[in-house]
Structure 1
Amino acid sequence: MSRPLAEASATADREPEHKLQAGAISAAGAVVMAVAGSAPAYSIAATTAALVAAAGLASPAALLWCGLPMIGIAWAFSYLGKADVNAGAAYSWVGRALHPALGFLCGWALVVSATIFMVAGSLPAGAMTLALFSPENSGNVALATGIGAVWFLVMVACVMLGAQLTARAQWIMSTIEVLILVVFALIAIVKASTGAHAGPSFSWDWFAFNHFQGMGGFVAAALIAAFYYWGWDVSANLSEETDNAHKSSGLGGILGVVIVFLLFEVFTIGINVMMTGDQIAANSDNVLGALGEVIWPGLGGKILIIAVMLSTIATLETTLIQVTRSLFAMGRDKTLPAAFGRAHKKWQTPAFATAIVALVSLVLFIGSNFLGSVGDILSDAISSIGLQIAFYYCLAALAVVVAYRKLIFKSWKNFIFIGLWPGLGAVFMGWIFVVSIPELGPVVVSIGLGTLALGLIPMFIYWRKGSPYFKRIPLNVS
C-alpha cells in the first residue's frame, strides 16, 4: 500500500524545537505501552464494582461486546498511522480525513479526558499505597490525594526526562503487573474448577444479552467497558518516537487491546465466580485486592494491591504521554499556543506541555478533596471520561473508512480491516455516545460534555488567527 500523495505537517520538515526523540520506543515497547495504557489491574480494581452494578452477571458480555468494536478501532488506528505518523494521532487523522473542527475536538476530548483521569488515577495510587502500608487510612481522601500527587510528580519527571526512560519504567512496572495477574488468574481457575467459590458457577450465558437490565442497562455497562479499554492508543501518540512507526505503533495497539481483553474477561469472570454481590459492592474501590484475599488469604490481597499500585502508576505515565503529545501536536500546528509545540533541546520531550498539565492536575487534586469519597469521585469520572472516549474513538474509526474509501473494496482484507470492522466500531461508539446522554446524571453529563464544549473557545480563536491546520491537507491514500 503506497504512502499518501500529500503529507501533512506530521511528516514535513520541522524545525529542531518541533522534534521528539525518534526511535526511542521499540516495536515490543509499543505493545508494552498499549497494555500499560489500558492499565489492566487498575481498571479491574477500580471499575469492576461499577460494571457489576450496571450489568450484574452480564459483565463479561459488556466487555466482549465493547471489546470487539474496540479491536476494530485499533485496526483503524493502525491504518491511519501508516498514512500519517503524528503525535496528535486522532487529532491529525480526523482533521485531515473528515474536518479540522472535528479533528480539533478529538484532540481536545483526549486532553480533557486525560486531565480528568489524573485525579481518577492518582487517588487510587495513593489509596493503594495506604492499603499496603497503612490500611486504616486507605479511605482518607486527603491523605490518598497527597500520596497520589507524589506518585504523579514522579511520573511527570519520567515523562519530562525522555521517552527512553519512560519506556524502561514501563517495562519494569507492566511486566511485574501482568505476571502477577497471570499467576492469580491461573490460581482462580484452578480453585473455581474444584468448587471453591462463593459466587455462582460459570455459565456461557454470561456472554449473552439476557442478564442486562434492558437497553439502558447495556448502554450504561458499555460506557463503563469503554473506560476499561481506554488508553491502548498511547502507542499512536508515541508514533513519532517509535522505531519503524508506520508499522510498529499500530501493531502495538492491536496486540495491546487483545491482551487486555483477555485479562479483563478472565478476571471479571473470576470475580463473578469467587465473590458474592455484597462482597463486590463492599469493596468497590479495590475489588481486585478483595479477590486476592479470597484466592490466597493473608498474602493474596497484598500481592494484588502491589499489581494495582504498579498499574495505576504506569497508566498515570501513559496518560501523561497522551495528553502532552496531543498538546505538543496542537501547539506545533498553532491550534493552541505555540509554546506547547516546542520540545526540550536535551530531553526532546514536550516540556512546557508537561509542566502545564502537571500544574493543572495538582490544582484538580486539591479540588477533589471537596467532591466526596474515592469511590464517588471514581464513579463520576469513569462515566464522564467514557462519553469523551466514545466521541473521539467514533470519529477516528470513521476517519479510516473515509481516508481509505478507494481501497476498501480492492480485497477482502481491506473490506474487513479497513471498512467493515472499523465502521462497526464507529457506529457502536457513536450509538453509545448518543444513547447514554439521557441515561446519565447531570453531574456526569456536565463534566463529560461541558469540558468537551470548552474546546470550542480555543478552536474558534485559533481558526480566526489563521492556523494552517484549519486549511486541511486531505488524508487520501492511493
Structure 2
Amino acid sequence: MSRDRRIDGTGAINGLRANVLGVGDAVVMAIAGSAPGYTLAATTAVLAGAAGLASPAALLWCAIPMMGIVLAFKYLGRLDVNAGASYSWVGRALHPALGFLSGWALVVSATLFMVAGALPAGYYTLSLFSDSLAQNGTWAAVVGALWFLLMAVLVVKGVRITARAQWLMTGIEVMILLVISVAVLARGGGRETFSWSWLFDVTALGGAEGFAGVALVAAFYFWGWDVTANLSEETSNSRRSTGLGAILGVISVLALFEIVSIAVNLVMTQGDIQKNSAAVLADLGDALWPGWGGKAMVMAVMLSTIATLETTLIQVTRTLFAMGRDRTLPAAFGLTHRRWQTPWVAITAVTAVALALLFASSALGPVNTVLADAFSAIGLQITIYYSLAGFAVVVAYRRLLLKSVANAVFIGLWPLSGALFMLWVLYQSLLHLEATPLVIGLGALLAGVLPFTWYVIADSEYYTRPHARLDAAVADSMESQYGGIIGTVPTQRDGRVSDL
C-alpha cells in the first residue's frame, strides 16, 4: 500500500480523499490562493511607494521568474504526487534537511499570513457597516476570528465543499474587480494619461536595489497559487491537472493585477494612493460609481480575504499532514478524519495557533502596521521554498534537460532562473529590510531547528531511510507506457517506479 493510504489499528483507511477536484477547481483554487482582491487592497500602496507609476511593470517583470517556479512545480508534480508538494520534492531531489526547510518555510509563512488575513477580513466586513467600528482592532479581530473559524469548519468537512465555496466567493470577487476596472479603462480620462512605460519600463524601478524591493512585494502578490500542488492527492489526473491549474491561475491573476493597477494609476495620484492606502480599491470603485462602487469593491476584498484564508489553511494543513506522515513533525498531524478524510488534527492545531497570534497581533498597533511587517516577513520565507523547488526540478530532470530545446528551456533554464532570482531577492532583502520583519521572518524559520533536531535524534526514517531520489530519467524510460516527461509519468517509491 502506498504511504499516503495507510490502514490504522481499527482497520480504517487513513488518507486524503482522492479524485475530488478537477482542472477547473485547480484553476479557481490557484486564483483564490493568490487572493487578487485582498492582495491589491493590502499591497497596492506598498508597491506604488516602491515603483510609482511603474507598478504594472514591476508585476509583469516579476511574473516572468515566478512563472519559472510555476513550471518547476508542474514538472515536479509529475514525478511525485504528494500533499507536501515542495517539502517532498525538495527532500527527495536535493536533501531531506532541505525538504524539511522547504516545508517549514511554508508552514510558518502560511500561519503568519492567516493572521495577516484574518484582521483585514474583520476590518472589511465591519467597514461595510461602520468605518469607525472597523478601526477598532478588537472588533476587527473578533469578526476576523469568526470568519476564520467558519473556513476551518469547511476545510474539515472536506475539499469538495471547500471548492464549491471557492467557486462562489472567487467568482463574485473577480467579477466585481473586472467590471469596475474595465469600466474605468473604457471610460478613460482621469488624473493621469496612460503610458506604455507603465508596463514595460524596467528602468523606472530604481536599479538593482529598487527592483529587489519591488520584487519582494511582487512575490507576495503571486504567492498562494501553489495550493493546487498541495491538493494533488485529492485531484483527478493530478499529474496534469495541478500543473495546468497553477499555470492558468497565475496567468489569470497577472492579467487581473495589471488591469486593476493601470486603472488605479489613471484615477489616483501617487500621493492619493499613499494617503488612502487602506482604501485604494474603494476609491477606485467610487471614482466610477460614487458610493455603491466603493461598497462593491469592499465586498470583493472581503470575499477575497475570506477565500484566501480557506486556501491558506488547506495549504498549511496538507503540508503538516505530509510532514506528520513522514514523522518529521508529530505523527498526529498525519491522521485524517474517518468520515471526511481531512487532516483534522493539523487543522485544529493551526486554527488554535493562528487565533492566538491573531488576538496578540491586534494589540500591537494599527492593522496597516501589522500587515506591512507581516508581508515582508512572509516574503522572505516564500523566496526560500520557491527557490529550493526551482533547484529541485533541475536536479530531478538533469539527465533529460538536453533531450530537447523545450526541456532545456521549460524544465531547466526558466526554473533555474526563477530560483536564482528568488535567492537574489532574499539576499537584497536581508540587506535592506528593517529589524521587525527580519526578526519575524528569520525567527520563525529558526524555530524549525527544534523539531528538525528532535526528529533527527529520534532517527526518523525520513532522514535515516529517505524515499527514493526523484529521477525523471527513470520515469522517462517508461515513455511508451506513460508518455514521458511531457505526458504522465510514474512516481518512484522505495526505489521502484510505480504508478500511483
Category of TM-score, reference length = shorter chain: over 0.9
**AA of the residue aligned to 1:121:** G
2:348 to 355, 365, 371: 355
- Asked if 1:108 corresponds to 2:101, the answer is no
Distance (Å, rounded) in 2 between the aligned partners of 1:13 and 1:365:
35
Aligned length: 468
**1:23 alignment partner, SS class:** coil
Shift of 1:283: 2.1
The residue correspondences of 1:435-474 to structure 2 (distance < 5 A) are: 435-470=428-463, 471-472=465-466, 473-474=468-469
**AA of the residue aligned to 2:390:** A
How far does the alpha carbon of each residue in 1:400-422 deviate from its partner, in whole angstroms, 9 at most, with x for none?
01001111111111111101111
* 2:470 corresponds to: 475
Task: Tell me which moved more, 16-25 or 242-251.
Answer: 16-25
- Asked if 1:77 corresponds to 2:73, the answer is yes
* 1:162 corresponds to: 158
How far does the alpha carbon of each residue in 1:69-114 deviate from its partner, in whole angstroms, 9 at most, with x for none?
1111111101101100000000000000001111101100000001
* 1:247 corresponds to: 240
**2:219 alignment partner, SS class:** helix
User: Is contact 1:119–1:361 with CA below 8 Å preserved after alignment?
Assistant: yes
Distance (Å, rounded) in 2 between the aligned partners of 1:185 and 1:351:
40
- Asked if 1:138 corresponds to 2:96, the answer is no
**AA of the residue aligned to 1:325:** R
Distance (Å, rounded) in 1 between the aligned partners of 2:409 and 2:460:
36
Normalising by structure 1, we get a TM-score of 0.95
**AA of the residue aligned to 1:450:** G
Distance (Å, rounded) in 2 between the aligned partners of 1:463 and 1:397:
26
Assess, with a 3 A threshold, how the Cα gap between structure 1 residues 139 and 282 changes in structure 2: closer, same or farther. Answer: farther
Shift of 1:118: 1.1
* 2:83 corresponds to: 87
User: Is contact 2:54–2:197 with CA below 8 Å preserved after alignment?
Assistant: no
* 1:177 corresponds to: 173
Structure 2 unpaired stretches of 5+? 474-500
Assess, with a 3 A threshold, how the Cα gap between structure 1 residues 413 and 138 changes in structure 2: closer, same or farther. Answer: same
How far does the alpha carbon of each residue in 1:450-471 deviate from its partner, in whole angstroms, 9 at most, with x for none?
1011111101111121112123
User: Is contact 1:55–1:211 with CA below 8 Å preserved after alignment?
Assistant: yes
Task: Tell me which moved more, 266-275 or 77-86.
Answer: 266-275
User: Is contact 2:182–2:259 with CA below 8 Å preserved after alignment?
Assistant: no
Shift of 1:353: 0.4
* 1:427 corresponds to: 420
User: Is contact 1:8–1:84 with CA below 8 Å preserved after alignment?
Assistant: no
**1:336 alignment partner, SS class:** coil
* 1:22 corresponds to: 18
Shift of 1:13: 6.3
Shift of 1:249: 0.8
**1:392 alignment partner, SS class:** helix
- Asked if 1:320 corresponds to 2:313, the answer is yes
Distance (Å, rounded) in 1 between the aligned partners of 2:266 and 2:200:
14
User: Is contact 1:18–1:332 with CA below 8 Å preserved after alignment?
Assistant: no
Assess, with a 3 A threshold, how the Cα gap between structure 1 residues 14 and 256 changes in structure 2: closer, same or farther. Answer: farther
- Asked if 1:344 corresponds to 2:340, the answer is no
The residue correspondences of 1:29-44 to structure 2 (distance < 5 A) are: 29-44=25-40
**AA of the residue aligned to 1:101:** A
Shift of 1:58: 1.9
Distance (Å, rounded) in 2 between the aligned partners of 1:13 and 1:112:
27
- Asked if 1:376 corresponds to 2:372, the answer is no
How far does the alpha carbon of each residue in 1:263-282 deviate from its partner, in whole angstroms, 9 at most, with x for none?
11111121112111222112
* 1:51 corresponds to: 47
Shift of 1:116: 0.4
**1:286 alignment partner, SS class:** helix
Distance (Å, rounded) in 2 between the aligned partners of 1:329 and 1:177:
31
- Considering only aligned residues, what root-mean-square deviation do their CA atoms show, in Å? 1.5
**AA of the residue aligned to 1:476:** D
1:224 to 217, 228, 231: 217
**2:78 alignment partner, SS class:** helix
Shift of 1:332: 0.3
**AA of the residue aligned to 1:274:** V
1:293 to 257, 279, 286: 286
* 2:400 corresponds to: 407
User: Is contact 2:68–2:410 with CA below 8 Å preserved after alignment?
Assistant: yes
Shift of 1:120: 0.7
User: Is contact 1:285–1:374 with CA below 8 Å preserved after alignment?
Assistant: no
**AA of the residue aligned to 1:157:** V
User: Is contact 1:17–1:342 with CA below 8 Å preserved after alignment?
Assistant: no
Shift of 1:33: 0.3
**AA of the residue aligned to 1:368:** S
**1:25 alignment partner, SS class:** coil
- Asked if 1:98 corresponds to 2:94, the answer is yes
* 1:3 corresponds to: none
Shift of 1:136: 2.4
User: Is contact 2:60–2:199 with CA below 8 Å preserved after alignment?
Assistant: no
Consecutive aligned runs of 4 or more in structure 1 exceeding 4 Å deviation: 7-10, 12-17
User: Is contact 2:333–2:343 with CA below 8 Å preserved after alignment?
Assistant: yes
* 1:118 corresponds to: 114
Distance (Å, rounded) in 1 between the aligned partners of 2:279 and 2:33:
19
Distance (Å, rounded) in 1 between the aligned partners of 2:2 and 2:263:
47
Distance (Å, rounded) in 2 between the aligned partners of 1:18 and 1:245:
20
* 2:256 corresponds to: 263
How far does the alpha carbon of each residue in 1:29-77 deviate from its partner, in whole angstroms, 9 at most, with x for none?
0110000000001100111011111111221121112111111111110
Shift of 1:8: 8.4
Shift of 1:366: 1.1
Assess, with a 3 A threshold, how the Cα gap between structure 1 residues 61 and 174 changes in structure 2: closer, same or farther. Answer: same
Shift of 1:207: 2.4
Distance (Å, rounded) in 2 between the aligned partners of 1:366 and 1:22:
36
User: Is contact 2:32–2:307 with CA below 8 Å preserved after alignment?
Assistant: yes
**AA of the residue aligned to 2:171:** T
Normalising by structure 2, we get a TM-score of 0.91
* 1:4 corresponds to: none
**AA of the residue aligned to 1:367:** A
Distance (Å, rounded) in 1 between the aligned partners of 2:416 and 2:262:
29
Structure 1 unpaired stretches of 5+? 1-6
Assess, with a 3 A threshold, how the Cα gap between structure 1 residues 67 and 405 changes in structure 2: closer, same or farther. Answer: same
Distance (Å, rounded) in 2 between the aligned partners of 1:20 and 1:225:
33
Assess, with a 3 A threshold, how the Cα gap between structure 1 residues 271 and 233 changes in structure 2: closer, same or farther. Answer: same
